Structure 1
Amino acid sequence: MAAKDDLGRYGEELVARRLAAAGWQVLDRNWRGTRGELDLVAMDGSELVVVEVKTRSGPGYGHPAEAVTAAKLARLRRLTGQWLAEHDVRPASVRVDVVAVRTDRDDARVEHLRGVL
């Protein structure tokens, strides 16, 4: 397994634990649709939130959230529609959040960007 895959899993696990500790209900992790994957799907109260997690081990590739392009957001929108069609969940509203995780040795900094879509 590639080191970047391990890093990505680490970031997703860290974010899932933080969301659960904040009272969110994590409904799905690494859900695969026909054209991609949703990292996390959770309920924040009555709102369905699709969470895209981007993790970087240092500043060499820029801020993690910069990797979420307009094309990626469009794909997330389509995948969210597919997820909703396949699950019996009727949220009051839906949003997409991006969580940027930067790790430096044993420290992780997490930045939660709400409602990017």
Structure 2
Amino acid sequence: MDNISAAGNYHLSNNSSVQLEGKLQSNKVSSGEMDKLKEACNDFEAIFIKQMLDSMKKTINYSDLSKRNMGEEIFDDMLYDEYAKKMSGTAGLGIGNMMFQQLSRQLPSDIL
């Protein structure tokens, strides 16, 4: 059973998640479309994490002894992109999964 916590957070029970996956796999929605939706949700999670890491990076105080050049800034940005991708897959934040479950519920009723 789905429930809402006292803090207002929505929790999807394991049983509901399994039922939803079963319905989506057994109906007209192609697995390619569902894979695209899942990938888009995971990409959104990576972008969210990247924004968080960028905000954290702004708090670093660099010394005046060594000047940072544009190459270092580009490398850092690319490195943080990769950190965000890796974290979205392994950190277990669940933002992408929650988005996928919510968006897949909004599919037309004839599909479900």
Please report the TM-score for the alignment, with normalisation by the length of structure 2. Answer: 0.29
Q: Which has the higher strand share?
A: 1
State the structure with more CA Rg.
2
Please report the TM-score for the alignment, with normalisation by the length of structure 1. Answer: 0.28
Q: Which has the higher helix share?
A: 2
